[in-house]
């Protein structure tokens, strides 16, 4: 069994890193707290408060330290955005919408998963009409690309 290895600061005093069992997790600089899978990615939602491009670039630059060689940062971002959206918590749902749009623009994400996510966003009454419209435009972009 290894030790906690903090790799990337995600918010004030919170780090994304490798848990002692080798899984991806979140903790303080000096101690890992919970794996992302166990937390259903909730502990990574604060990343959505930052700009997509910055977080994507940071995750890409530390992908090897985070063992993201298979699936890359794209798979991690998909899990974070999808779990925030499915949470039913309006604050996190609103933050997930522009990230989904940025995921479309990047062209690096699974189109089928994005389409499903954007359809749900475009129909949700838990977010503003502006956010639904944004999701509809992003969905149209996805549909044009296939």
Point out which residues pair with 27 in neighbouring strands.
Answer: 15, 32
- Answer whether residue 17 is part of any domain: no
pLDDT tens digits along 65-95: 998 876 789 999 999 999 999 999 999 999 9
- Answer whether residue 65 is part of any domain: yes
- Answer whether residue 1 is part of any domain: no
- Answer whether residue 34 is part of any domain: no
Domain range holding 83? 43-145
Residue among 114, 99, 124 nearest 145 (CA): 114
- Answer whether residue 24 is part of any domain: no
Distance of CA 23 to the CA centre of its chain: 17
pTM: predicted TM-score of the whole model, two decimal places: 0.93
- Answer whether residue 129 is part of any domain: yes
- Report the number of distinct structural domains present in the chain: 1
For the chain, helix (H) and strand (E) counts, in that order, are: 5, 4
Please count the other Cβ atoms lying within 10 Å of the Cβ belonging to residue 55.
22
Structure tokens at 14: 């919170």
Asked if pLDDT for residue 146 goes beyond 80, the answer is: no
- Answer whether residue 14 is part of any domain: no
Higher pLDDT, 129 or 67: 129
Asked if pLDDT for residue 1 goes beyond 70, the answer is: no
- Answer whether residue 23 is part of any domain: no
Q: State the pLDDT at residue 68.
A: 86
């Amino acid at each position: 069994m290894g030790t906690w290895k903090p790799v990337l600061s995600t918010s004030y005093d919170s780090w994304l890193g490798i848990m002692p069992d080798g899984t991806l997790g979140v903790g303080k600089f000096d101690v890992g707290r919970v794996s992302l899978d166990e937390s259903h990615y909730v502990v990574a939602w604060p990343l959505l408060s930052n700009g997509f491009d910055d977080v994507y670039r940071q995750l890409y630059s530390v992908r090897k330290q985070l063992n993201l060689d298979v699936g890359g940062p794209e798979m991690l971002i998909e899990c974070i955005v999808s779990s925030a959206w499915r949470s039913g918590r309006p604050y996190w749902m609103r933050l997930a919408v522009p990230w989904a749009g940025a995921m479309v623009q990047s062209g690096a994400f699974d189109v089928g998963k994005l389409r499903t996510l954007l359809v749900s966003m475009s129909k949700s009454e838990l977010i503003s009409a502006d956010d639904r419209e944004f999701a509809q435009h992003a969905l149209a972009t996805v549909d044009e690309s296939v």
